[in-house]
Amino acid sequence: MRLLVVEDTPELGEQLVQRLTAEAYAVDLARDGEEGQFLGETEPYDAIVLDLGLPRIDGLSVLKHWRARGIATPVLILTARGAWHEKVQGIDAGADDYLAKPFAMEELLARLRALIRRTMGHSAPVLTCGPVTLDTRSGKVAVAGEAIDLTAYEFKVLDYLMHRQGQVVSRTELTEHVYAQDFDRDSNTIEVFVGRLRRKLGNDLIATVRGLGYRLGPAA
C-alpha cells in the first residue's frame, strides 16, 4: 500500500515515514501544502495523512481542492488538540477520519488500516482468500493455518492483491502501489515477487490474465 504524508514539522514527518515504512507501507512525504496538493492529484495513493496547519497552502484548502477534482483517496486529517472547529471543517470538506495531536502512533496505524479496508470493501481486519489469511494488524500470513514467511516486497504485493480480490491488477498498478515515488522502480521485479508468492501460497491462487495483469482468487 502506498501512502502520502503531508506534514511540515520535520521531526513528526520523519517519525511518520519511518514507522509507516516499517509497517510495510510505501511512503511519500510532502512538507508543505503546495507539494502535497500536487502529489495527491498526480500520484496514486491508497490513503493520505494530511496536517491542516501547513505552509503555502493550508490543509483544508488542499483537501477541498482534491475533492473538487473528484479525487476520492481516503484522507486522515491531523488537527490541533481541542480545535473541534478544525475537525468539523475537515469532515465537511471531505476528510474520512481525524486524529488530534499529540497522538499515539498505534492509533494512527489502526485508523489507516481501517480506512484502507473500508475503501476497498473489507470490514474485518483479517483478509481471507481460499486457504490464505492475512492479518492486517500484525502483518502475519498463513496458508491453511500454517504461518509462512514473506519478504517485505512479497508481503506488499500480496497485501495489495488481497485487498482487491477478484480484480485484475496490472503490473504497472502494482509497481505504483508497492514502491515510493523516489524508488528506482522496475516493473519486471513484480513478476519475480508473484513467482515467489505462487511457490509459497500455491500456484493456483494468483492467476495471470494475459495482456492485463494478475487476479487473486481461489481456483474455480
pLDDT tens digits, one per residue of 86-144: 889 999 999 999 999 999 999 999 999 999 999 988 889 999 999 999 999 999 999 99
Q: Does residue 209 have a pLDDT over 80?
A: yes
Average pLDDT over residues 15-35: 97
Average pLDDT over residues 59-69: 97
pLDDT at 80: 82
pLDDT confidence band for 187 (50 / 70 / 90): low
pLDDT at 184: 66
Q: What is the pTM of this model?
A: 0.90
pLDDT confidence band for 35 (50 / 70 / 90): very high
- What's the mean pLDDT when you consider all of the chain? 93
Average pLDDT over residues 154-179: 94
Residues 152 and 197: their CA atoms lie apart, in Å, by 12
pLDDT at 49: 98
Tell me the domains of the chain and their CATH numbers. 2-119 (3.40.50.2300), 126-216 (1.10.10.10)
